[in-house]
Structure 1
Amino acid sequence: MSTLSTEEDYDYSDLTNSYMGIFNTKAFERFLSTTQTGYAHTSSGIDLNLLLKTLITSLCICTIQLTVFCFFRSTLKIVYQPRCFCVPVNERMDPLPRGFLSWVLPTMKSNMHFYLSMGLDTYFFVRFINVLLLYFIFIGTSNMIILLPINWTGSDQFYQAPGLDRLSLSNIASSKVSRLNSHFLMGLVTIGTLHCLIIYELSSFVSIRQSYLLSPNHRESAQGKMLLISNCPHQLLEEEVLSSVFGFIPGGIKKVWFVHDFKDISREVQKARSALDTLEKAQILYLKKSYRCQFPRKKWLRNYFSDKIEDITDHLSEDEYHHSLEPQFYPAISMTIFFPIINRSVELKLPGFLRFFAFQDKISMTTWSAKQLDISLKAIDAQKQLMNEGRLTKHTKLFVQFNTQEGAYIAHQCLLSRNQGDLDSSLVEVHAGDIKWNNLSRNNSYTSLVEKYIVNLAFICIIILYVVPVSFIGLFSQIPFLVQLMPFLAWIYKFPEEVRETISSFLPSILLTILTEIVMVTFRYLTKFKGILSGAELELDLQRWHFSFLFVQQFLVVTISSSITVIFKQILDQPTSIPILLATNLPKGANFFFQFFALKAFAFCGANFMRAESLIFHYLTSKLRDITPRQKFHSLTGLPKIKWGTVYPVFSVYACIGITYSIISPLISIFIIFILMLILLYYKYALKYIYSHINESETQGRLYPIALLHLYTGMYCLECCLIGIFFLSKDEDGNSPMKVHGWIMILVLLITIFGHQTIFNRFVKHFSYLPILSDFKNKEINTTEKNNSNCVVGEVANFKSTDGDDHELLYLHPAFKFEDPKLWLPSDPLGICLNLIQHIEHLVPGLQGGTTKGASVIFDNTYRKVKIRVTEAPPDYK
């Protein structure tokens, strides 16, 4: 028999008689107890053949996707190398050489310091994957070399674990219980090495972050000296008063930006932009109709249409003739709903075809959009005038730029007022493009506080109750039961048995991934209602919640045997039974995570490199949606951006699972190393050649220490599981020879808790603050890489970066920085667009003219198909 007693040997019934009566109700138990075993247990004892079948299927799909990427990488450059062509000339990367696999070696050789040019969040993420990879290569290889032979030969004539479980701790029979001494020693090595790694990396993080933030370039930037202050009393909302109040700060105040009431001007700016887009779209449609009328497709129709056009022009004036060509898509219906209780408004935009049911007639797109644009531009100018005269309401939040970086950090760390609730909240180094203006315009009231706690409560409910849909995933591995439940799926039996087994093995992992993505989107949406003032703070908050969700749902729920109700009651009533719970359940889920990581690795690599969504967007969706040069430009230059708050937690959870199983089933290290290598290869390529180098929600690296500290979760699981294993292990005589090891491991757990708390207290202030005194010379970190690429793919050829907004307007709401636009139409062979620009300039006096520079229209021989070519940025681009 095995050294480990099974779960059936323990009666948890006493734990159900809890003081928490709600958990004992039958209704609640039926609601949550959709399964009594973790789904991962279904993979217990699988053999190598079934695992290989699953892997080969995933490998084939991944190979096809990678082949598509390698084949089209050099031709579809807008999709696979946009940072080489669709960014400002001085920021472009040198294109990779042509060739099927010529991208691999240059990508792997990319210097780590290059990624500093994309910010500390990006740099530390690449470093995080590198660190995890090195750790699992070292500790994983050591554990496999030492423990795999011990596990494999740990059975006897009375007991042998089935399938791949022979490679895990589960294969050690009672007669060979002494072999657990090796697991005990390697457990100490694994835990000690991880402690040293975390301490070293936190020390390195502090040093690198401080050097980066104290570099001359950053110190002299506006962001480096900026402080966002909340709850400012109304008597202080004057720049002269604030300057005197902050006179004690070294260097004093340089500039103050107040948050004016921006609802009206923001609404008018949205209307103006929408009207401008509609106006330009109308001219493009008019251009197409004009050419189709003047150049019919068939020669025999040309004379017929020419006669018809002459007949029309004989009876119609020139204005009437042009009016006949003008496009008519009803204007969209916009409305604003305001909720005074929570001080929030919701903008609704209904499709224009609903006007048909109100018996409204179509109107000219040009006439309507020109009129709307003229009205909105005048309203915007009026709002700007009110702001300049000081007649707009000021909110209780403001931006203060100090003359020195030290001044901003000193003010951030000080209690700025003796009155409770005044000037009691601040954010330092806020990026001008990262501000959550809707939350900034709200006063800190009890309503907003309640709203925040309601969102947190919703997160907790999602984490707990999401066990219900996750539990149903197990049905997809049991095809007979699934078909019995849903008879219309009987067609599955038409497949060969091997195919059905393969489907039932990898389909649950795919569904689990889809469910996880849904939650990630939900979390990100709900977080916006927590009153967070910047995107950086939102990412930090999301990181903690997303990690909690992933760890519970992707690890605990799928591995722990028992219903969720019993788990909660057991943990709350008898916390000391947690080691037993883990020891009797975790070893059974090892094989599941072999499949999970292998499938994740192939799916992640294939799907992300092929970029199917981008291919569909650029070569199908964008052709239907991008009608005007402006739309075409934004589609080409809109590079994807990474939201690091939901990326770090994914790999933190993977690492925690790997740490937990590193002793229980050392073979998992192979799969962890494999997925980390593919992840590193992809991100080193994508960050350099695909993703935008601009990250407005930059946290200055603060996501990294949180990710490192999250690794303690995996360490705690490993220690608790080993404690349970050592106490439960019995020899042939029924004795427990490993009790001493269990007590030592309890001591190790207490030391880990103490070390965790000590390390956190030691470094936590360095995560957000900067030192005023320093005994080392700060060296500027080179955050740019020179690029001499002059390659052009025929799109956005001369697009150049701008120096940013005027400093005086830097931290005003974007609506106040809106300037009168310019009409941008493409040049055409007959010069029709130039005439249209002159005509519209008379309709909208507020326009700054118009131009056809940087855009052209290309017709085919039949003048039916039209292509817009863009070589420069819009004339009013900033």
Structure 2
Amino acid sequence: MSAIDPQKALKNNSTTAFLTALAVNGGLLLLEVGAFLVLKQRLWRIYSPRTVLPPPNKRAEELPSGPWKWIPALLTSPAEDIIHKNGLDAYMFLRFIRLLLIIFLVFTISTFLIIVPVNAAFIPAISKGLDQISWSNITEPKNQLRFTAHVIVVYLLTAFVIYLIQREMLHYTYMRHQFLISKSHSRLAQARTVLVTPVPDELANERDLRLFASFVPGGIDKIWMYRDTTALNALFEKREEACKKLEAAEARILRIATLAWREKEKIYSRKLKDEERTKAVHKLVIPQINSNILDELVAPNLRPKHRTGFLGLFGLKVDTIEWCKMDNKWMEAHPKDIVWRNLDDGALEMKSRYITSWLATVGLIIAWAFPVGFIGTLSNLSDLCEKVRWLRWVCEAPPVARGLVEGVLPPLLLAILFVLLPFILRGLAWYECIPRYSLISVSVYRRFYLFLLIHGFLIVTLSSGITNVTQGLAGAGSALVQLVPLVMHYLRKWFLGRTPRQAYEVTFQMPSADFGVILPRLSLLATITFAYSVLSPLINLLALISYGMFYLAWKFLLTQVFDQPDEKETGGLYFPMAINNLFVGLYIEQTCLACLFFLRASSAGVTAVIQGVFMVALIVLTALAHALIHYSFSPLKQYLPMSLATSQMAKRYSKHDGPLHDEDGEIDLFSRHRMHSVRRRIQNTTKKLDGKLDQLKAKIQGEDGQGPSSKEGVNDSKLSSHDTEPIAETTAISSSSSNDLPELSRKKSSDSGVSKQSKKELTKRQVFDAAAPAVEDSDSSDEDDEDDHAFDHPSTYADQAWIWIPKDTLGLSEYLSKELKDAGVYASDVGANMDERGVVEVTRNPPDEVWGGGHDL
């Protein structure tokens, strides 16, 4: 880490370098905003997919047309609507940007009204450029009393920040609890499921686990035991790869055949006479489709082939389609947030992996210092060229060129260096054996911010000054223009959209934000601004403009563009970590000021020492406030208090007589009525009997030698032995007590194919819907029926994915589908079409998934 010199820390950034960086980033901002305004009206797929792609009842409202009318409409729309569209993580992310916007608005006003006059008024023009309004303009000992204004302002601003943090934590806690008890969230499986890993061997069976958890009111509905299926999992993954390979090979054959037939038509058309060409007979007649016409259009040397060895580079070269036809296994829906590979390890191995992962992170931080330190020295070439002889040519270079090297090149190189870092950190978090993808992202947040704090600030920024803050201007513009997603969309459409599934991803899949990577960057910008907020007040104005643009850009993206999947939802857990990062910025600011005061003690005397002591006292007060906020909210940041559950239950049953209450009016969870209700709830498994009998009947009728019907577009999975297990048990219950049980509404689960964001759609007139009852009656039909395999590894029950083939103009797709069905592989061409140029277009999701509606192409 670079040492902090009171003079050098503020003068390293020349006015030329700063103005050059400001001009470049400001120019990029104008260019990006201009491109956005032009492209926004023409490319709805990139800039407003939420208004078109989701089902009609889940679409976002379209913003007014025109270059500027959309801005007031966007800013006046309720931010709470983002919860309905993208969950609480997205809402709290936008709330965090709003918090920083308020903070730096007050910082800008206060420092410009107090600090700037104190730094510049009635002082001879010793410094030049921007230094005239910074700390370095009053470094003479006779001006030491002027620093008292800096101490007072730091105290006031720190108190203001702590007040806002405490207020926002209260709001976060309230919103998180309301989100968790809302009916829409409570009905989801993850809201009622606890993942316990690892489990001691003596409890690793269903009976002992139920006994262990018998104290839970209402008991345990279902227990899923994860079995060690390592070998089976490997086969499952190989089958998935084989299905993708087969699908790509079929699409390639169809494309080759379509283009070959188009070429034959062109040749035939050229042979016709002019008078014949005017008649509508110039097209070739499509012959009857069979293997001969397919072999004629697709020569054997053009058929897709691959090698079966390592990475497809070695081994026997085989025909891809014939090789893939030999696979015939199972596929069905599975929870997307579980990292199945990380559930196999014991407690000791998980602990060792955790330690190893963080040791590797620390080692990476140390190794990263060398390239980052070199980039930091580029910001100080003006100083180095005076001391290093072979760099004197830098001092002789034109000011503009020197400004580009010192102000633009370091941030650019640093951005390139940090592009690959999140992928490395994600691999380390994965190695840590974290069992959920959403928690892996949270771990990436912690590591990435630590990297940015050390290398992006403590090493680079303290040696290069406030120039890096100008990157926020261009960063906000790039978030708005979405340049990378725009380029990637067309690259994927032109080069990767060859199969129906790839075309579906390009057409229907909306992008999502990884807050574990985005939030650390925004937090770092706040940390830098805090550190320089009093030393160089101009940084507050830059941060204010940057966060204003970030707020506008991200509110637009989260309402019009992005679609956050439910399996990545953490319920706002990123927000407390981002709040802690603000305290880091306060600590760095106060420590820097204390060091600067104490370093001036030799020349300024007792006054500087007293001011330094005041800053040390402020550090202590800030730490006490931080600890108080942490311990006050720590029990409530992640878990839902039982008091909320009992209060909701009391409200629900207050209008009824007292079967749930005892003589003192207290709620008795273990009363006879309650336990009877629990027993009846357990018996509710019989409501699945009718549905299972219908499925059995349909499967038996369907197994008459024909493949699955492609018209329905829903996977009618084969009968497994598990389907018949509860039949004998539930039949007796149903026959004996069907008259005693209340009528139960039958529900069909749509979890297998419908996008998860559909479950986030809440009423628009209120932030959250009514809270789910804490203890439900046995006849409640609010809960979604849980799949018996919901938390089993897919390899233990899954059906093979359907091979989705595009329907071509020749009708070859029907022939290929029948060929695959005869080989025992499910296939369909529903919802996918290939035109005469070989371009694939889709109108729905894969046919083995339930279609929930959407853009009608």
* Correspondent of 1:248 among 197, 211, 215: 215
On the 8 A contact 2:832/2:840 being kept in 1, the answer is yes
CA-to-aligned-CA distance 1:478-504 (integer Å, 9 cap, x gap)? 77989x99x9xx9x9999762453344
Structure 1 residues 663 and 476 mapped into 2: Cα distance closer, same or farther (>3 Å)?
A: closer
Shift in Å at residue 766 of structure 1?
A: 0.9
Q: Matches of 1:322 and 1:724 in 2, distance apart? A: 79
- The equivalent residue for 1:69 is 36
Q: Matches of 1:469 and 1:623 in 2, distance apart? A: 37
Pairing 1:546–2:514 present? no
TM-score of the two chains, using structure 1 as the length reference: 0.73
- The equivalent residue for 2:95 is 127
On the 8 A contact 2:50/2:561 being kept in 1, the answer is yes
- The equivalent residue for 1:612 is 483
Pairing 1:213–2:168 present? no
In the TM superposition, what are the counterparts of 1:431-446 in structure 2 within 5 Å? 432-445=335-348
- The equivalent residue for 2:432 is 530
- The equivalent residue for 1:647 is 518
Structure 1 residues 328 and 856 mapped into 2: Cα distance closer, same or farther (>3 Å)?
A: closer
CA-to-aligned-CA distance 1:175-220 (integer Å, 9 cap, x gap)? 2222122112112101111221222222222222112212233334
On the 8 A contact 2:376/2:410 being kept in 1, the answer is yes
Pairing 1:232–2:204 present? no
In the TM superposition, what are the counterparts of 1:2-41 in structure 2 within 5 Å? none
Pairing 1:467–2:338 present? no
Structure 1 residues 451 and 46 mapped into 2: Cα distance closer, same or farther (>3 Å)?
A: closer
On the 8 A contact 2:445/2:517 being kept in 1, the answer is yes
CA-to-aligned-CA distance 1:74-105 (integer Å, 9 cap, x gap)? 22222222223333444322333443344333
CA-to-aligned-CA distance 1:649-699 (integer Å, 9 cap, x gap)? 222222222222222222211011011111111111111222223242322
In the TM superposition, what are the counterparts of 1:523-672 in structure 2 within 5 Å? 523-560=425-462, 592-593=465-466, 595-602=467-474, 604-672=475-543
CA-to-aligned-CA distance 1:422-451 (integer Å, 9 cap, x gap)? xxxxxxxxx932112111122223x44333
Partner of 1:856, secondary structure, is strand
* Correspondent of 1:872 among 844, 847, 856: 844
What residue ranges of structure 2 are gaps of 5+ in the alignment?
Answer: 273-283, 653-758, 765-782, 851-857
Pairing 1:139–2:100 present? no
Q: Matches of 1:260 and 1:747 in 2, distance apart? A: 56
Pairing 1:697–2:568 present? yes
- The equivalent residue for 2:799 is 819
Pairing 1:223–2:156 present? no
- The equivalent residue for 1:28 is none
Pairing 1:155–2:123 present? yes
- The equivalent residue for 2:306 is 331
Partner of 1:742, secondary structure, is helix
On the 8 A contact 2:531/2:586 being kept in 1, the answer is yes
Pairing 1:57–2:29 present? no
Structure 1 residues 179 and 78 mapped into 2: Cα distance closer, same or farther (>3 Å)?
A: same
- The equivalent residue for 1:858 is 835
Q: Matches of 1:224 and 1:318 in 2, distance apart? A: 55
Give the counterpart letter for 1:200 in structure 2: R
Q: Matches of 1:290 and 1:720 in 2, distance apart? A: 71
Pairing 1:753–2:618 present? no
* Correspondent of 1:521 among 406, 423, 429: 423
Give the counterpart letter for 1:867 in structure 2: V
* Correspondent of 1:717 among 574, 588, 599: 588
Partner of 2:839, secondary structure, is strand
Structure 1 residues 752 and 321 mapped into 2: Cα distance closer, same or farther (>3 Å)?
A: closer
On the 8 A contact 2:256/2:298 being kept in 1, the answer is no
TM-score of the two chains, using structure 2 as the length reference: 0.74
Shift in Å at residue 598 of structure 1?
A: 1.5
On the 8 A contact 2:573/2:638 being kept in 1, the answer is yes
Shift in Å at residue 840 of structure 1?
A: 2.3
Give the counterpart letter for 1:442 in structure 2: D
Give the counterpart letter for 2:814 in structure 1: L
CA-to-aligned-CA distance 1:276-324 (integer Å, 9 cap, x gap)? 333333333333343444443675566899xxx99x99xx967865774
Structure 1 residues 455 and 40 mapped into 2: Cα distance closer, same or farther (>3 Å)?
A: farther
Q: Matches of 2:450 and 2:5 in 1, distance apart? A: 18
What residue ranges of structure 1 are gaps of 5+ in the alignment?
Answer: 1-32, 335-348, 385-430, 562-588, 788-802, 860-864
On the 8 A contact 1:275/1:370 being kept in 2, the answer is no
Pairing 1:366–2:321 present? yes
- The equivalent residue for 1:4 is none
Q: Matches of 1:528 and 1:256 in 2, distance apart? A: 26
- The equivalent residue for 1:578 is none
Give the counterpart letter for 2:343 in structure 1: L
Partner of 2:226, secondary structure, is strand
Pairing 1:170–2:136 present? yes
Aligned residue pair count: 705
Partner of 2:460, secondary structure, is helix
CA-to-aligned-CA distance 1:202-246 (integer Å, 9 cap, x gap)? 222222211221223333432222111123233433323322332
Partner of 1:723, secondary structure, is helix
Q: Matches of 1:317 and 1:706 in 2, distance apart? A: 65
On the 8 A contact 1:136/1:672 being kept in 2, the answer is yes
Shift in Å at residue 804 of structure 1?
A: 9.4
Q: Matches of 1:116 and 1:40 in 2, distance apart? A: 48
CA-to-aligned-CA distance 1:428-479 (integer Å, 9 cap, x gap)? xxx932112111122223x443332122112112223322111111454577
On the 8 A contact 1:826/1:856 being kept in 2, the answer is yes
Q: Matches of 1:442 and 1:276 in 2, distance apart? A: 29
% identity of equivalent residues: 24
Structure 1 residues 45 and 717 mapped into 2: Cα distance closer, same or farther (>3 Å)?
A: closer
Structure 1 residues 637 and 219 mapped into 2: Cα distance closer, same or farther (>3 Å)?
A: same
On the 8 A contact 1:38/1:560 being kept in 2, the answer is no
Give the counterpart letter for 1:136 in structure 2: F
Partner of 1:869, secondary structure, is strand
Give the counterpart letter for 1:330 in structure 2: K
Q: Matches of 1:95 and 1:202 in 2, distance apart? A: 32
Q: Matches of 1:260 and 1:89 in 2, distance apart? A: 42
- The equivalent residue for 1:199 is 166
Give the counterpart letter for 1:439 in structure 2: N
Partner of 1:112, secondary structure, is coil
CA-to-aligned-CA distance 1:127-156 (integer Å, 9 cap, x gap)? 111011111111331122111011012634
CA-to-aligned-CA distance 1:31-84 (integer Å, 9 cap, x gap)? xx9x88899959726565553333223333333333332222222222222223
On the 8 A contact 1:93/1:689 being kept in 2, the answer is yes
Q: Matches of 2:642 and 2:191 in 1, distance apart? A: 14
Shift in Å at residue 596 of structure 1?
A: 1.4
On the 8 A contact 1:536/1:697 being kept in 2, the answer is yes
On the 8 A contact 1:477/1:504 being kept in 2, the answer is yes
CA-to-aligned-CA distance 1:340-394 (integer Å, 9 cap, x gap)? xxxxxxxxx6134x44xxxx4x5433212212x23xx2xx59xx9xxxxxxxxxx
Partner of 1:331, secondary structure, is strand
- Aligned CA RMSD, in angstroms, stands at 3.9
CA-to-aligned-CA distance 1:157-178 (integer Å, 9 cap, x gap)? 8xx2333122112211322222
- The equivalent residue for 1:12 is none
Q: Matches of 2:256 and 2:441 in 1, distance apart? A: 48
Give the counterpart letter for 2:123 in structure 1: S
Pairing 1:838–2:815 present? no
On the 8 A contact 1:114/1:783 being kept in 2, the answer is no
